[in-house]
Amino acid sequence: MRQGTVVQYLADYCWVELDPLEPQHRAPGPPKEVLARFRGRLELVMQQEERHQREQREVERIVTQQVAVGDRVALSEPQPGDFAVEEILRRETWLLRSSVGRYRHKPQCVVANADQLAVVVAPVPGFSLGTVDRCFLAAIQGGLEPILIVNKLDLDPRLPERLEIKTYAEMGYSVFFTSALLDQGLAALGPALADKYTAFCGHSGVGKSSLLRRLTGVDIAVRSVHAATGRGRHGTSSARLYHLPGGGEVVDTPGIREFGLAHLTWLDVHEYFSDIAALTSGCGFRDCSHTVEPDCAVRRAVEEGRLAVKRLESYVKLRAECSS
Ligand code: GDP
Ligand code: ZN
């Protein structure tokens, strides 16, 4: 049985990069990619810690039946050149697709085993901190390290001074300022991506493809049709893994609206917004929601310019989504 890594998933089949037969003797050139089909039933159990108030924790079992980009798989080869996925191997990390309606309790994984999630924002089409925080929380839940990339620095060189952006660095996250257009900031970003598997997400128009094109040297929009066979024309809706010239992998994720938080709890939000949590002891009401109550230390911090209003808005919105 051969093993490999799923580099693209296309509903009824996937592209798998085969591990070299002998790890020490990697053949020159790009790793061998094969098309593998699915047969029979695949099943993998992911275990996610669900957190509740009062520190009570439960392990939630998420059963999945589909492969995701980055999955390690075992393949059979019933006929020479005909590969089938037999097993999904253990997932170390995951990013889940939001599921609504009757699929709410069957979250699907979009990216497996990534080390970090790079959330890309830009002044045009505009920052949405709510989205950044959702992505950061989804990353944290799935075991990935979130990083922030603020692109289009050329449009506003004062971006690094913005309070709502400074917060992320203050909270200990890595923040990079780039201009894909003018090739600025990419040298600093390089070492953060080297030898890591990084998923990229961001609203359409922020410059994600431009950044990935610069970083990988591959014209990503064009690559959605597989070079060797011409198969795989699924537009940009299908995530694809690319290698970085200096080592490491990147994957462009499909639309940001696809991202989901499986069972967000109040404790997750509280821990994530630790700057706001630290202020709440100064509020007049013990269960202050920081929206309408008098004598609110959090809103006071906003008025005095110590806390970005966008950050408070994002907090209020995410807190309202909590299940407990
Ligand atoms: P995506 O939808 O996030 O993949 O964004 P694209 O890479 O397609 O870029 C959207 C638009 O923003 C294009 O017109 C790009 O030329 C432009 N763009 C990308 N990066 C930058 C940048 O750093 N500065 C400026 N001014 N424009 C950029
Ligand atoms: Zn308050």
Q: Does the 98-102+109-252 domain belong in CATH 3.60.21.10?
A: no
Ligand 1 neighbour 180 (Cβ under 6 A): yes
CA of 210 from ligand 1 middle (Å) equals 6
Question: What does residue 175 show for φ and ψ, rounded to 5 degrees?
Answer: -125, 130
Q: Does residue 279 contact residue 307 with C-beta atoms inside 8 Å?
A: yes
Among protein residues, the one whose CA lies closest to atom 25 of ligand 1: 152
* Ligand showing the shortest atom-to-Cα distance for residue 179: 1
Instruction: Say which amino acid occupies 57.
Output: R
Ligand 1 neighbour 253 (Cβ under 6 A): no
> What's residue 255's pLDDT?
62
Q: Does residue 74 contact residue 86 with C-beta atoms inside 8 Å?
A: yes
Among protein residues, the one whose CA lies closest to atom 5 of ligand 1: 207
Residue of 127, 179, 210, 222 best suited for mutating to test ligand 1, as the one with most atoms within 8 Å of CB: 210
* Ligand showing the shortest atom-to-Cα distance for residue 201: 1
Give the whole-angstrom CA distance, residue 201 versus residue 212: 11
> What's residue 3's pLDDT?
94
Low-confidence ranges of the chain (pLDDT < 50): 52-56, 222-236
The answer to pTM > 0.75 is yes
Give the whole-angstrom CA distance, residue 315 versus residue 239: 29
Q: Give residue 160's Cα distance to chain centre.
A: 23
Ligand 1 neighbour 205 (Cβ under 6 A): yes
Q: Does residue 95 contact residue 110 with C-beta atoms inside 8 Å?
A: yes
Instruction: Say which amino acid occupies 56.
Output: Q
> What's residue 322's pLDDT?
78
Please name the residue that has the structure tokens 């253990």.
90
> What's residue 150's pLDDT?
97
Helix (H, G, I), strand (E, B) or coil at 146: strand
Contacts of 227 (CB under 8 A, 6+ apart): none
> What's residue 230's pLDDT?
47
Contacts of 90 (CB under 8 A, 6+ apart): 44, 72
CA of 147 from ligand 1 middle (Å) equals 19
In 3D space, the residue among 64, 66, 69 whose CA is nearest the CA of residue 33 turns out to be 69
> What's residue 262's pLDDT?
67
Among protein residues, the one whose CA lies closest to atom 26 of ligand 1: 152
> What's residue 103's pLDDT?
53
Among protein residues, the one whose CA lies closest to atom 19 of ligand 1: 207
Ligand 1 neighbour 208 (Cβ under 6 A): yes
Q: Does residue 202 contact residue 120 with C-beta atoms inside 8 Å?
A: yes
Q: What is the CATH number of domain 266-321?
A: 1.10.40.50
Q: Does the 2-91 domain belong in CATH 3.40.30.10?
A: no
How is residue 125 annotated by DSSP? T
* Ligand showing the shortest atom-to-Cα distance for residue 292: 2
Please name the residue that has the structure tokens 């994984």.
109
Q: Does residue 144 contact residue 199 with C-beta atoms inside 8 Å?
A: yes
> What's residue 219's pLDDT?
75
* Ligand showing the shortest atom-to-Cα distance for residue 283: 2
Strand partners, 146: 117
Give the whole-angstrom CA distance, residue 109 versus residue 81: 28
Among protein residues, the one whose CA lies closest to atom 22 of ligand 1: 152
Ligand 1 neighbour 204 (Cβ under 6 A): yes
Instruction: Say which amino acid occupies 186.
Output: L
The structural domains of the chain, with segments of one domain joined by +, span 2-91, 98-102+109-252, 266-321
CA of 206 from ligand 1 middle (Å) equals 6
